[in-house]
Structures are given as structure tokens and as C-alpha cells.
Structure 1
Amino acid sequence: MPDKAIAGLLDRAGKRTGRIEWMVAVALRGFRNTHGIAVYSDGEWAERGKVTLTEAAGMLNLSSATVLLKIAAGIISAEQYCKRPPWITKRRDIEQFASD
């Protein structure tokens, strides 16, 4: 995810870096640089065959809430890497669900 999106998730989860919350994205950038973690690039998830809940809903012509219910019921497989980030699923799983 882009640094700004990660910073938003950390902020909503109540995680802070120092005294200045708007500096979270800058702190993340510094952490990545220190530890040699690659910068997020647009289209990275697509290259790995992953889609977000919103993208899956668009592919299925359903609302995000309906897709989330299907995830909760185990009909569509998806992952949420920690609390509150976007749900991620595999494009092929969505395409398979659409063809059933």
C-alpha cells in the first residue's frame, strides 16, 4: 500500500509515531529506506493477480457490502492482513465466482 494509506490505517488503529501524527507517512518512508523495503507502485496488486473488495464488487456488479457478506460466509476467499485494512482477494477467485 502507499505510505499515505498505511499511515491512515495506523492512525485509525490508534498507532502513533512520536508527537506529530501527520508525520506518520514520513516516518514510514524512513522505515522503508532504513530496512530496504521497496516503495509501493501503482498496479502492483494487479501484477500479482490481487484485487480489493471494491474492485471485486465492480467485477461482479455487486455492492461492496454484498461481496463482504460472501467473504464472511466463506463463499469468496479473501484476506485482511491486519485489522482495518482493505480486503484483498485473488482476481482468478473472483472470475471463478462470476462464472459459476
Structure 2
Amino acid sequence: MEELTICYEYDFALTVRKKNGRLYKNHHIGAIGISFSTALFDAYTILKKQKCEILAINHVKAKSIAFAFDKDGAAVKISLKDRPPVMPDDYEKELSRLPKKH
């Protein structure tokens, strides 16, 4: 099996608190990352710019492959069915790895 660098596009359904103090229990945001944790950090930084706080991860779905490269750096066309991402079992554990609000 050849070595590939694959970046996935995820759809996160989150419970967030916005800057006005309101709680949204089904806030969807798209993020990309090589792994689930890097995509979650991408979603975190997007929401941090909007002054939103992630309270919980409701569910996550991998939408597509954003891009893929082989070990030589050439672009490769693959489908999500061929190489599905590894999804964690415990979303709370992944959420606890994010930087804390001070």
C-alpha cells in the first residue's frame, strides 16, 4: 500500500455558546484536517475568531477528501470509500485536548 497524505473535509455538529451568551445546540461548521484532531482544531480556530466556545461535539461526518498527495508530492485522486478517516470513539476526550479558555 502506497504512502499518501490525505486531508479530509469534516462536517461538525456542535453545541456552542456564542459571544452574545446564547446557546446553540446544533451548530454546523465545516473544517479540514489530516486527522480528526487537526480538523477539530481548525473548527476551534474558526469559532474562536467568531468568539464562540465549543461546549460539546454532537456528531461528526466526513464529507469528502479535500486533497491527497503521494510521497513524491503528486496529486492523487481517491474517493472517501477507498480511504475513510479514523474517527475517535470518545468525542469528549478529543474536546478536552483543545486549549482552554482563560
Task: Report the TM-score when normalising by structure 2.
Answer: 0.23
Relative to total residues, which structure has the larger strand share, 1 or 2? 2
Ranked by relative contact order (alpha carbons within 8 Å, sequence separation 6 or more), the top structure is 2
When Rg is computed on C-alpha atoms for both structures, the one with the higher figure is: 1
Q: TM-score, normalised by structure 1?
A: 0.23
Higher helix share: 1
